[in-house]
Amino acid sequence: MFSIISSTTTGIDAIPVIVETDVSNGMNNFTIVGLPDTSVKESRDRIRAAIKNSGFQFPRGRLTINLAPADLRKQGPLYDLPIALSILIARGEIPAHTLEHAVVLGELALDGVIRPVRGVLTTALMARRIQKTSMFVPKENEQEAAVIKDLEVFGATSLRGLVDHLLGRTLMTKTVYARKIRAREDHQCFSFIKGQDFAKRGLEIAAAGGHNILLSGPPGTGKTLLARSFPSILPDLTEEESMEVTSIASVAGELTSSSGLIETRPFRSPHHSASVVSLVGGGTWPTPGEISLAHRGVLFLDELPEFPRHVLEHLRGPLEDGVVTISRAQATVKFPARFILVAAMNPCPCGYASDPKRKCICTIFQMQTYQKRISGPLLDRFDLRIEVSNLPQEKLLSDTQSEPSAIIRARVVAARIKQADRFFDSACHVNAEISPSLLEKTCVMSSEAKTLLGLAIGSQSLSPRATTRIRKVARTIADLAESNIIEEQHLAEALQFRGQKMQHD
C-alpha separations of 309 from 208, 271, 318, 376, 483 in Å: 29, 14, 16, 12, 40
Give the C-alpha separation, 139 to 143, whole Å. 8
* 292 closest CA partner among 238, 342, 245: 245
Cβ contacts of 17 within 8 Å, gap of 6 or more: 5, 6, 7, 8, 67, 68, 69, 72, 74, 79
* First CA to last CA distance, the chain: 68
Model confidence at 206, pLDDT cuts 50, 70, 90, reads: very high
pLDDT in tens, 311-326: 999 999 999 999 999 9
Query: What average pLDDT does this structure show over 140-161?
Result: 95
pLDDT class for 400, splitting at 50, 70, 90?
confident
505 pLDDT band (50/70/90 cuts)? very low
**pLDDT per residue as tens digits for the range 447-487:** 999 999 999 999 988 888 889 999 999 999 999 999 999 99
Question: Residue 18: which residues within 8 A CB-CB, separation 6 or more?
Answer: 3, 4, 5, 6, 66, 67, 68, 69
The DSSP string of 32-45 is EESSB-HHHHTHHH
| Number of continuous H segments (helices) and E segments (strands) in the chain | 21, 18
Distance separating alpha carbons of residues 283 and 278, to the nearest angstrom: 9
For residues 37-58, give the mean pLDDT: 94
Question: What average pLDDT does range 250-257 have in this prediction?
Answer: 88
Residue 500, pLDDT above cutoff 70 = no
Intervals of CATH 3.40.50.300 along the chain: 190-425
Q: How would CATH label the architecture of 2-166?
A: 2-Layer Sandwich (3.30)
Nearest to 139 by CA among 103, 170, 172: 172
Task: Answer yes or no: are the C-beta atoms of 164 and 170 closer than 8 Å.
Answer: yes
Query: Contact, 19 vs 79, CB < 8 A?
Result: yes
| Radius of gyration, alpha carbons of the chain | 27
CA distance 202 to 197: 9
Q: Angle, to 10 degrees, between the axis of helix 447-460 and the axis of helix 488-496? A: 30
H-helix or E-strand containing 96? none
Question: In this structure, which topology does domain 190-425 adopt according to CATH?
Answer: Rossmann fold (3.40.50)
Q: % helix / strand / coil in the chain, to the nearest 5? A: 40, 20, 40
Mean pLDDT of 394-398: 75
Helix (H, G, I), strand (E, B) or coil at 327: strand
pLDDT digits (tens, 9 = 90+) for 330-342: 778 999 999 999 9
Segments of the chain assigned to CATH 3.30.230.10 = 2-166
pLDDT tens digits, residue range 85-119? 999 999 999 999 999 999 999 999 999 999 999 99
Over 398-460, what HEC string results? CCCCCCCHHHHHHHHHHHHHHHHHHCCCCCCCCHHHCCHHHHHHHCCECHHHHHHHHHHHHHH
**H/E element, 62:** strand 62-68
Beta-carbon contacts of 490 under 8 Å, excluding residues fewer than 6 positions away, are 449, 474, 477, 478, 481, 483
**Averaged over 370-392, what is the pLDDT?**
90
Report helix, strand or coil for 269: coil
Tell me the pTM: 0.91
